[in-house]
Structure 1
């Protein structure tokens, strides 16, 4: 009896194994957009296995947060910046980005300066990436009032430990050229050191009157400055990049720009943020309008995610992709 039971168990196990081997695993996939509500100008950071994404203000939050375990499934997680700095007024809180620093996390954000009447850049601090971040400064970190203001701050830490900040003067607000600036930051990330350097200017036809949303990335030893250009509320908005010799340039725009542009599925894709997964893949978070709802409040600019490959060391965005694709590793 015992031999018969054992034999039956072995046959059952063999049958299950054969069946399992005959049915190959189906990779998990996702379909864009990955967040259906309005979430413009995404920036992201990975902390303790959780992705935190930060976006431009909505009607109730200065800096809305989303969290995700996989870059695909996103959950609202409150307001990272419940109160803007004393120098600013509530509303018009744009394009936040966060980086680990000074024993916690630093949030760089854009808000309206009450003194200048222009958009300016502030910095806030928190122990956790979830916040709440606090800006205890009496004045903004950067405010180029004579150049239309300053927006879209993006921090970058070089492998040598140097900390840098990139931003755009809001020249298009006063009918002037727009530039992407860079400057070294102090070790604590709370002040600029040295002179601000112009890295790029809106001088290509596809860029029209504005370039903005800089992000410096080092990939395989090369520095790449991603940026967006043209009117954010039209389908001509798109994304390009430049190759840079150092964190403060000089930088050269790519001949193949723009590398992310509108499709029948996504209008005006841009204000991107490149992330690298623990598995070593590079993916691009960005916003885009539904083609039939450009300029809308709802659904507004939705959150998209597409893979970036690097043939010959040059970034190629596999998107906007509306078909199912494998989730990031």
Structure 2
């Protein structure tokens, strides 16, 4: 063997060693821990309309509707968790001083946190101020390099409307690179429309994806539909959504639950699940809804949502709950249809060992 071939052989051997070490390192990095047990609620403070994602720093982040903390207005709180069970507050999308000028003070709810091209985007519902030509409700967006911020607002609405029909934004990134925004409420449809690649505007034509009051859902929960969250599993796009009224005005008279529909296209038409709602009240929790869906590191689906805690009725506002999603005959099932869990769940989320 010539000297040249000896060097080539040595180089190939060293590459093989490097690849092997890399695989061992990756395997150790992806080693999963044990299921994290939990009992609902997983966050007992007021945390309505949660949105959630896992960031590139390995933590889960949730953003929720505005609230009061010890009498102080808190716009769009940011929560952090390593396991979807143990949460702590990590700031806000806006401070009282940085509330966008085009909005009306203390109207920030139903946010959606998403990641695209190295940036974190928070879409949110708000009331437009009198300087906006189309007064009413609208959807804004703020952008940051990290889920904890600081966030810079676009400075004007992504969408503007005349009423509560232009609220509750959700953004879905499809496998083909196209992006979609969903929104709606106030007895109007849930709309779907393609989102520009920069996330700052909608393009093309909007579609009515889900209609209110047309499906004869048990107990009339679909008289108003809102809070869409879309995922893709196998060949279907599943839209989780809520109805029919909740919660600031109605309070403990709220009538709210989670429903689901599916389609072979992100724009619809959507087939409504015959056994809706999939998450309803029980004797422990009232008005469960406005959910997010996320997978843990083992690939298990979980639903994160708000509800009134009837066990701890002295705690104000809507607590944040977590439950496992099972799949039966192509449809999601939560706690066997018995509403939110209240007992200890030993088969909780599984996350990578840190």
Normalized against structure 2, the TM-score is what?
A: 0.79
Counterpart among 116, 122, 125 of residue 143 in structure 2: 125
Is the 2:237–2:264 Cα contact (8 Å) retained in structure 1?
A: yes
Moved more, 100-109 or 62-71: 100-109
Q: State the partner residue of 1:270.
A: 289
Provide the secondary structure at the position in 2 that maps to 1:287.
Answer: strand
Provide the secondary structure at the position in 2 that maps to 1:310.
Answer: strand
Shift of 1:133: 1.5
* Distance in 2 (alpha carbons) for counterparts of 1:247 and 1:80: 29
Shift of 1:85: 2.8
* Distance in 1 (alpha carbons) for counterparts of 2:198 and 2:279: 34
Counterpart among 238, 243, 258 of residue 229 in structure 1: 243
**Higher relative contact order, chain-length normalized (CA < 8 Å, sep 6+):** 2
* Distance in 2 (alpha carbons) for counterparts of 1:240 and 1:131: 32
Q: Assess, with a 3 A threshold, how the Cα gap between structure 1 residues 309 and 292 changes in structure 2: closer, same or farther.
A: closer
* Distance in 2 (alpha carbons) for counterparts of 1:195 and 1:240: 25
* Distance in 2 (alpha carbons) for counterparts of 1:71 and 1:118: 35
1:1-329 correspondence runs (5 A)? 28-47=36-55, 48-59=57-68, 60-82=73-95, 83-114=98-129, 115=132, 116-137=134-155, 139-145=156-162, 148-168=164-184, 170-171=185-186, 177-203=187-213, 204-205=216-217, 206-207=220-221, 209-233=223-247, 234-291=253-310, 298-318=315-335, 319-325=339-345, 326-329=347-350
Shift of 1:269: 0.3
* Distance in 2 (alpha carbons) for counterparts of 1:249 and 1:126: 31
Provide the secondary structure at the position in 1 that maps to 2:323.
Answer: strand
Shift of 1:136: 3.1
* Distance in 2 (alpha carbons) for counterparts of 1:157 and 1:128: 19
Aligned residues: 294
Shift of 1:235: 4.7
Q: Assess, with a 3 A threshold, how the Cα gap between structure 1 residues 28 and 248 changes in structure 2: closer, same or farther.
A: closer
Is the 2:235–2:264 Cα contact (8 Å) retained in structure 1?
A: no
Query: Deviations 1:245-290 (Å, cap 9, x if unpaired)?
Result: 2111111211110000001111010001010112100000000002
Provide the secondary structure at the position in 1 that maps to 2:140.
Answer: strand
Q: Assess, with a 3 A threshold, how the Cα gap between structure 1 residues 126 and 42 changes in structure 2: closer, same or farther.
A: same
* Distance in 1 (alpha carbons) for counterparts of 2:142 and 2:36: 38
| Gapped regions of structure 2 (runs ≥ 5) | 1-33, 248-252
Alignment RMSD? 1.9
Query: Deviations 1:58-99 (Å, cap 9, x if unpaired)?
Result: 132211011000000000111122333332122120111111
Moved over 6 A (4+): none
| Gapped regions of structure 1 (runs ≥ 5) | 1-25, 172-176
Query: Deviations 1:126-154 (Å, cap 9, x if unpaired)?
Result: 111111211132x3111121x54410001
Is the 1:55–1:63 Cα contact (8 Å) retained in structure 2?
A: yes
Is the 1:183–1:193 Cα contact (8 Å) retained in structure 2?
A: yes
Is the 1:118–1:149 Cα contact (8 Å) retained in structure 2?
A: no
Q: Assess, with a 3 A threshold, how the Cα gap between structure 1 residues 86 and 224 changes in structure 2: closer, same or farther.
A: same
Provide the secondary structure at the position in 2 that maps to 1:150.
Answer: coil
Normalized against structure 1, the TM-score is what?
A: 0.85
Q: Assess, with a 3 A threshold, how the Cα gap between structure 1 residues 212 and 27 changes in structure 2: closer, same or farther.
A: closer
